[in-house]
Chain A
Amino acid sequence: MEKRAVFRAGSLAYLLILPQLLLVFVFFYWPTGAALYWAFTLEMPWGGGNQWVGLENFSAVLNDAKYWSSVAASCVFAFAATALALAQALVLALFVDRQLRGSKSFRSFYVWPYAVAAPAVSLAFRFIFAPETGLVAFVNQWWPGLWNPSINGAQAMTLVVLCFAWKWIGYNFIFLLAALQSIPRALTEASAMDGAGPLRRMLDIQLPLLTPTFFFLLVINLTESFVGADSFGIVDILTEGGPANATNLLVYKIYSDGFKGLDYSGAAAQSIILMLLVMVLTFIQFRWVERRVHYK
């Protein structure tokens, strides 16, 4: 028989979990509930009453070309940033795992970016990539007008993608390195005995065995780049959604429509749609976790 401490009075237990519940309620359920409510009403910008409008907010959002361009921008951003962050992290992890000289210091070195707050990273990127005064300003001396993210939408997108990827490489790197190091050394040795060189071993043995970790990171990176605080912070500091909405990601559009445009109801409807998107992504993730490849 297992011995358990049992609270006879249920009230004590509730009292103990109350602070946590309160936090979750105040900071999660309340705002979500409010947003849900606002999404179906027309909210007065200066306060003072609202009006039930049913699905009109949603139809307005979904019929707005600007919204769809924002969806497109978000998709481009999410897939490009995820691809870049994963690919780079993979290369770094593979080489650190080979235990070349100095790999120990690189191991901690590569994780640092993740520990820096997104706005701080963005500020640094802003200084480095400023077209007139930044470190890269010299390209404009060779070829005037070559680099200017404040007027060129594609360049602005490149900049935010770079910034996000730079920060997330560290996170992905640690996971991939841990996964690589959990591959038994005997496996790579066996393939060396079978005649495979280092590159061949990476392709045939290490990469296939990394796929579970890789898919996990893919979902995390996609979710984070769609709705994460990092995407918001980076866009807010680097481009403010511009130029001409080229980097107006969904998370940023909600903020600027709601708090700058004072369209609370439209922003609330967008939040609900975005929340559904996250739920779909999470659902995919869980489906994947369920079917996860088990090699043992």
Chain B
Amino acid sequence: MSSISIRNVRKAYGKREVVHGVDLEFADGAFVVILGPSGCGKSTLLRMIAGLEEITAGEIRIGDKVVNRLEPRERGCAMVFQNYALYPHMSVAGNIGYALRVAGVPKAERERRVAEVARVVGLENYLSRRPGELSGGQRQRVAMGRAIVREPKVFLFDEPLSNLDAKLRVQMRAEIRRLHKRLAATSVFVTHDQVEAMTLADTLVVMNGGRVEQVGAPAEVYHRPRTRFVGAFIGAPAMNFIDGTMAADSFTFDGRRVAVEWPFARAHAGRPVALGVRPEQVELVAADSPGALPATVDFVEELGAGRVVYTDIDGLPFAVTLSEETDLAPGERVGLKLLPQSLHFFDGETGLRLGLAESVETSRAAVAAA
């Protein structure tokens, strides 16, 4: 029983509030990833769960126990820190076994458990080394070993992979996933890396400016971003946005009219609306083909497996990803054909997704450039 429940939690440093009332429920055994840009309050939230930061207002429960006023050691959480925070004067065995030593576990049992954990994280041959003699990936494993040796109810990860190089990061990601499957403890993982977030999470929490923007399965968050911020933050290259105005049967921007078949268009007619389109859900067609938005190629980014064509609709930047080879040159005229089932509409003022209350099936839209 180690679900985590966060109710209207706030954090203020003096008069400056950095977390503005967060409500979250994490199921027992879930792998939750909190994603957000720097300074969005995600680490602060994690540290409040850990007990390293005081909670200004609200309530945090782990299992069925309110932990607001408990010391970190009484909460049954283990944490993996961004810079590993290994004890430099202790060997790998000393680092992993420290929690057991503090808890007064007898030496024989301690050594047995340390050896077992070292095997799990692949460090059995390094037990007598100091952290200074290890590579980045090995240090990361020590930090994880130190966390799992206590068999905690909850794992907290504070951007643990951000100091590793790209290849190692992918590898460690897989190991964390494997470890979670094996231990099945509730895990909260904070990151600003959306690939990490998408690949690791059962539940994805997107935060911005001290507020939760969206909670959901990664695919759901990707396909139905609840706010314009989430749409822009998740996905690379970022979602394209066109600011315009909704009419009963069309979307207009910059003197252009885009015919729209969207069940809720009428309800939002006359309102400022942002149209969001993912770069991979656009087709490049001939500049004069009917139903396409004319644009000019700015430059093409070659990514090996795919390529990103950065275009420009009269000054409005618009990216398109292609999987096939292309010989488009800067300055060429092309047509952009938006795929109707993958358009997103956001309120021009609040940034909230429009048609949220309505079901996915009915919110199909069709677009044709006028």
Contacts and interface: CB of A to CB of B under 8 A. Distances in A.
Bound together? yes
A5 to B, nearest CB: 41
Given A200-B102, A204-B98, A295-B132, A193 B78 contact: yes
B73 interface: yes
A184 B89 CA distance: 13
A195 B103 contact: yes
Contacts of A190: 79, 81, 85-87, 146
A187 B85 contact: yes
A192 interface: yes
Interface in B46-92: 50-52, 71-73, 77-79, 81-83, 85-89
A205 B87 CA distance: 7
Interface in B73-132: 73, 77-79, 81-83, 85-89, 98-99, 102-103, 132
B249 to A, nearest CB: 57
A184 B86 CA distance: 10
A184 B85 contact: yes
A53 B167 CA distance: 78
A34 interface: no
A295 B86 CA distance: 11
B102 A189 contact: no
A197 B88 contact: no
Nearest to B99: A194
Nearest to A189: B52
Interface of B: 50-52, 71-73, 77-79, 81-83, 85-89, 98-99, 102-103, 132, 146, 150
A174 interface: no
Interface in A258-287: none
- Most A CB contacts (10 A, CB to CB) among B50, B77, B81, B88 go to B88
A196 B73 contact: yes
Contact of B88 (A189, A192, A193, A209): A209
A238 B197 CA distance: 70
Contacts of B85: 184, 186-187, 189-190
B77 A193 contact: yes
A35 B78 CA distance: 66
Contacts of B79: 189-190, 193
B182 to A, nearest CB: 21
B76 to A, nearest CB: 10
B56 to A, nearest CB: 18
B50 A184 contact: no
Contact of A191 (B51, B87, B103): B87
Contact of B99 (A195, A208, A295): A195
Contacts of A205: 87
Given A184-B83, A193-B73, A208 B98 contact: no
A182 to B, nearest CB: 12
Nearest to A294: B132
B81 A296 contact: no
Contacts of A195: 72-73, 99, 102-103, 150
Contacts of B77: 193
Contacts of B103: 195
Contacts of B99: 194-195
Nearest to A195: B73
B318 to A, nearest CB: 43
A225 B277 CA distance: 76
Contact of B89 (A189, A194, A209): A209
A208 B91 CA distance: 13
A209 B86 CA distance: 12
B148 to A, nearest CB: 12
Given A191-B102, A192-B71, A196-B73, 5 more contacts: A184-B85, A190-B146, A204-B98, A295-B89, A296-B88
A295 B131 CA distance: 9
B87 A197 contact: no
B102 A194 contact: yes
B98 A191 contact: yes
A187 B72 CA distance: 14
- Most B CB contacts (10 A, CB to CB) among A191, A209, A294 go to A191
B13 to A, nearest CB: 14
A296 B98 contact: no
